[in-house]
Structure 1
Amino acid sequence: MSNDNRSQDSCSIDENIATDDDYACPICLQPITQKCYTDPCYHQFCLYCLLQWAEHYPRCPLCNTSSTAAIQLVSGKITKIPLQWPQHYKNSRYAENRQDHYGRDPCFAQIDAGLGMRKRKAVYEYKLRRTINTATGARRTHVIQIPELLKSSIDAQRCRLWIRRDLQVILNTSDVDLVELLIISLVKQTGKLDFATDTSSPSVSSFLGDKTNQFQDELCAFIESSLDIYSYDRYVAYDTRE
């Protein structure tokens, strides 16, 4: 990289730093730690979030641009970390600050669950949108409801865990048994996630209120993902920009 390009890149990064104090990482939805930028599209993330994302999908979570490196500005100098990263990065200082967020050892399950709750609260409180990985960079993923899939999946343990967790977030209570059973029963009967037009009494929408549509959309996306709840929390990104 030429000195001119380095100066131009550094200037661009400095401008972002001056205005993004409240920006949340689109992957973990937490305040950014070890800020980095994707090369070449300059979207910002926590460094370790981006490294772990790239391990599974080496493209920017926001615009789907093929990303070659994570860029950091340290003491006025630009450092590039390849996203096709070697094994030693996993044990380096870059992993230390986020290791507790994404530990794969079972002993981190409780930490993962707590961080998952925080992420889901942010999703519903700020009506965050999942990012879509297309060349157009659209910010909203759309789900297609498949009745057979919904009926066969809704009562599975992975779905029940997700339903209970998100209901607890939305309703701010651990006592969600009734609503959970309503949801499972309705989907098994109809093969649809259409709680907003449900006329049964009590209805799901009478509990979820204005979060009904977002909840059913998120539930459908989770079912289609085939991920477990912890993997879904780690790797599904949300657009936190205005």
Structure 2
Amino acid sequence: MESETAAASSSSSSSSSSSSSSSSAATEASCCPICLDPLTDHAYLDRCFHAFCYKCITKWVKFAAAKHPRPLSSIRCPLCKVENLSIIHGFSGGSFQRRYVNQDQRNRCLSGAYELRSHVYDREEEIANNIFDVQRYWKSRKYLWQNMWLQNWLRREIQTITQEEDADVIVHHIQGVVESFMARQQKESLKGTPEQKREEFRRLIFGAAGPFLLARTKRFVDELELFLASGLNIDAYDRVYMQRLSMSSSRDTREIDAESSDQSVQSRFLYFLNEDDGD
């Protein structure tokens, strides 16, 4: 009886510790690494996707630029030291503001969603797998619901992967395969297991997209499943992805910091912020 009580106590302690750790990680991810306050006016560096307050990271760029005799063309992330060309901010739907470190290219507005998706396909790690429950999507038969944003999402993904603006032929081909599969399931929804339906869907999409997307076909099929399972419109889906990219970058940085020295960068940040506020 005592051993059972001890085991229960140990399990409770472990669960509490895990919950505390998760809460701590979430808090870190939602705070600016520079001012240490909750993030306001979210801004992301364009290569590593670490998140900062827009005001804080622009001050950091100004601080770093003042130490060099020539204009900077890129800036090292204060956390991971990766070189970045610009600051992404004002993210809204299919576009965002991009402030270049190079003064000759400042304040350009571009289609940020395409650049975000390009980052997604360039990464080996699949960022959103643990956000959207794909298995539940198939088990709850949500695949029977029509997705009104599918065509626009397909067009953007195909354009991103192929780097071709005119992607209508490929888009309509893949969309036709998806809709044909869904229509067939309306009539045969009770036939076959969710796993079998998922396997058939992935096989059909892989076959339709493979000749056009080549080595990126599997990743495209994975991303298509995630988008459908999310149930979100494109703007909301991108916003979740952007947040997950930032959290992933923060996690990678914490792992690197654990292996390096204990020197804190926050003290240097606070120093330059206080100094700059006096201007």
Report the TM-score, using the length of structure 2 for normalisation. Answer: 0.44
Report the TM-score, using the length of structure 1 for normalisation. Answer: 0.49
Kindly indicate which of the two structures has a greater share of residues assigned to helix. Answer: 2
